[in-house]
Amino acid sequence: MARTFGARWGWVLLVAASGCNSEDPGVSLDMGLAHQQPGTSLGGLPRALAGPNDSVVTLTRAWVNVGAVEIFACPPTAFRRTLRFLSPIGVAEAHTPGSPTKIGVPHVDDLARPDGEMIDLGTLKPPADTYCQAKVSLDAADDDAVGLPAPSVVPMSGNTIWIEGSVTPAGGGPALDFTLSSAVEFDGQVPFVGASGSASPIALTSAETARSARVVLRYDRWFATVDPLAAGAADALVSAIAQTLEVHAE
């Protein structure tokens, strides 16, 4: 009897140990990066933009490094705040580099690419929640940045931006060339917006929900207040790029 028992258990083990696994996907958010301006779709450089004092800025070469993207859940409602207050279990709020809510791989966007063409930044698998905003970090590209141009093309490594172009004064006149490069870092913390431009939180609250969002560089707004020929223009331009970022929920 014991030998029969042992033999049967042996078969059970053999079958079970042959190994198998399966996955039920959770929530995910695919993040992309693009540059575009509403109403037009340019195929590449050069790009003519409105500059300060009715000047026209023409970009001939331009790269921007997006160092990280982190998403944030919507603030808890009063009801959820009450539940959290009453709960004896603490909720950690710390964030770490490369967390489920943060993509820390730098990507360099080359404005020679067509408008709207997306670079895949990666897929977040955040805790289930509804997300209202994202923080986009512009910082100096390292040698491992995705899309980093070759040093023979432009010394982008160590720089947050590298912008070349010319300015044509209002009313005409000779165009003045400029080259702007900067290693300063700025963050843009912006809400997710829908196609209409209004706030559009992303609900990732049920299993197998897969959404996407794209970080948009609104290059048409970069020079609204930045004179590329002025002193400190490069650092001011990084700030302007951060302040004009959009994150579109799709």
Partner 1 sequence: MGYEQPFGGRFRMFSEGQYRTESSGTPQDGGSSVEEWSLSFGGSYSLSRAIALSVTVPVLFRTMNQFDLSTTHATNLGDVEAAAKFVIWRDREFSSRHLVSLLGGIRFPTAPLQYDSQGQPLNTDIQAGPGSWWGIFGASYYGRLVGALSLYASVMAYVPTEGRQGLKPGASGRGTLWLQLQPWSWLSVRAGSDARLEGVWHENGAVSPDTGGFIAFFSPAILISPATDWVVQLAAKIPVVNHLTGVHTEGTYASISLVVDL
Q: Does 83 bind partner 1 (CB under 8 A)?
A: no
Q: Does 13 bind partner 1 (CB under 8 A)?
A: yes
Question: Which residue of 80, 81, 84, 95 would you call a contact of partner 1, by CB under 8 A?
Answer: 95
Alpha-carbon gap, residue 59 to 223, rounded angstroms: 11
Query: Min. distance of Cβ 194 from partner 1 in angstroms?
Result: 23
Q: Does 144 bind partner 1 (CB under 8 A)?
A: no
Question: Which residue of 106, 126, 165, 188 would you call a contact of partner 1, by CB under 8 A?
Answer: 126
| Whether 80 contacts 73, CB under 8 Å | no
Question: Which residue of 28, 189, 212, 244 would you call a contact of partner 1, by CB under 8 A?
Answer: 28
> Total number of residues binding partner 1 (CB under 8 A)?
37
User: What one-character-per-residue DSSP string does 112-163 give?
Assistant: TSPTTPPEEEEEE-PPSEEEEEEEEEE----TT-BTPPPTTT---TT-SEEE
| Whether 168 contacts 156, CB under 8 Å | no
Q: Which residues contact 20 (CB under 8 A, 6 or more apart)?
A: none
Alpha-carbon gap, residue 171 to 55, rounded angstroms: 8
Contact letters (x/-) for partner 1, 206-225, by CB under 8 A? xxx-----------------
Query: Min. distance of Cβ 18 from partner 1 in angstroms?
Result: 8
Q: Does 22 bind partner 1 (CB under 8 A)?
A: yes
Alpha-carbon gap, residue 215 to 72, rounded angstroms: 14
Question: Which residue of 46, 100, 169, 201 would you call a contact of partner 1, by CB under 8 A?
Answer: 100
